[in-house]
Amino acid sequence: MSRNAESTAFRSALEVVRGVEPRVADAIAAELADQRESLKLIASENYASPATLLAMGNWFSDKYAEGTVGRRFYAGCQNVDTVEALAAEHARELFGASHAYVQPHSGIDANLVAFWAILADRVESPALRKAQARQVNDLTEADWFALRRELGNQRMLGMSLDAGGHLTHGFRPNISGKMFDQRSYGTDPATGLIDYDRVDEAAREFKPLILVAGYSAYPRKVNFRIMREIADSVGATFMVDMAHFAGLVAGKVFTGDFDPVPHAHIVTTTTHKSLRGPRGGMVLCGPELADQVDRGCPMVLGGPLPHVMAAKAVALAEARRPDFADYAQRIVDNAQALADGLLRRGATLVTGGTDNHLVLIDVSGYGLTGRQAEQALLDSGIVTNRNSVPQDPNGAWYTSGIRIGTPALTTRGLGAAEMDATAELIHTVLSQTTPGTGPDGAPSKAKYVLDPAVAESVGKQAADLLTPFPLYPSVDLA
């Protein structure tokens, strides 16, 4: 698509929206302006292409399409079948998977589909067999009671939240922590790295039905071959949530033991983050779980979102292009350059560096909580998010860490020199910020003090850093 065509498309769309609710059109335009002016370092965010964005705004939004390709509960879904089949085809080819399910609306939806598919496949229950055979009317109240007890009493072993795991891997307030008899594995207190011997010990003691690997704040690779061996040794189904690093798998930066697809029984992911697609989820698996996964709707999901599946097809097609592999490698190169720049300036990093797209700063070395650091950086035009560190004394709300990632800035074209400059800006803000006090004069975990002149200066430097790397240069809304 030409630059003029993209500008025309987005201008026209906003003009139509403005004719109905101008405040929405203004908010959309303001969001583009804000993103253009901020150093976006949130590890789970990226910038989807204009083609991907435009694929979401169309008549597919008007369709219900429960079921799967060729087996819908609604008529008139032939065009939905086309885009869903294309998205699944691109996913299979991109990741080397035998089956792809592209309907999940989000990462947690993808994980729920995987959990229930595993339960349906593994749990031996006469009541469950009746339900799967669509003999629901034959189930007695005793059957239902037994079914609830059996499906809700299985064991899952996943990475703990403070060690870098995700809340959907068994965090108690999340549905995953309520569905399963759950236990977590952490990291070595001295190194912050996964200790596979300890994971093995925990698995042999706990004997989970599901062993989950994957992370949202672990800055290193995971050896999925070893994790699969651990799962096999206790008869567990091995599930990997690669939502954060799917782009590194797609771009063949993670291969061999570090590519989860050949080793896991089932893999889940989001389609945004490092994969640079629309917000959504996806499940990859082998033929033994394919039928159960395809029951995601209505088992867990409501009606699929055909307009988002269309955008997934576009983004996955983009990821199959040769230049995506270069992009994925630059994500890691930039993360390592950013980590090196922070280390040279005295910052403390969890695990001492990174192998992937993210860096986790322990801001307690600056005398701050994660919440204080997050807000001080935001005041200075640097968008990050606070995050727990291993054995975090401040808990999951205030935290002691800041998680930063490079997928978005890499999309804009920034490189190693800009990462070093970014490290300097981050260090300047954190070193110039001090904890504040509450109304009673006691130390506060939320309030902080930062000279507005420092925030203004850093914000200007951040904007200057971004000037040579315009965001969506083909889109002019003026």
Instruction: Report the distance separating Cα 415 and Cα 409, nearest Å.
Output: 8
Q: Which two tokens stand for residue 42?
A: 């949130």
Residue 236 DSSP symbol: P
Helix (H/G/I), strand (E/B), else coil: 76: coil
Beta strands per DSSP E along 193-279: 210-214, 237-241, 266-270
Residues contacting 110, CB < 8 A, separation 6+: 104, 243, 268, 269, 270, 281, 282, 283
Instruction: Report the distance separating Cα 276 and Cα 52, nearest Å.
Output: 9
Residues contacting 21, CB < 8 A, separation 6+: none
Using CA atoms, how far residue 73 sits from 77, 99, 113, 309, in Å, is 9, 22, 19, 18
Using CA atoms, how far residue 300 sits from 107, 116, 268, 377, in Å, is 13, 8, 15, 39
Residue the block writes with tokens 């060729």: 70
Q: Which two tokens stand for residue 149?
A: 């007890």
Residues contacting 364, CB < 8 A, separation 6+: 348, 400
Q: Are 89 and 312 in contact (CB under 8 A)?
A: no
Q: Just list the catalytic residues.
A: 64, 66, 241, 270, 273, 279
Radius of gyration of the chain (CA): 23
Burial (CB count within 10 angstroms: exposed 0-12, middle 13-18, buried 19+), residue 249: buried
SS3 for 421-453, per residue? Answer: HHHHHHHHHHHHCEEEECCCCCEEEEEEECCHH
Q: Are 448 and 435 in contact (CB under 8 A)?
A: yes
Q: Which two tokens stand for residue 269?
A: 């992911």
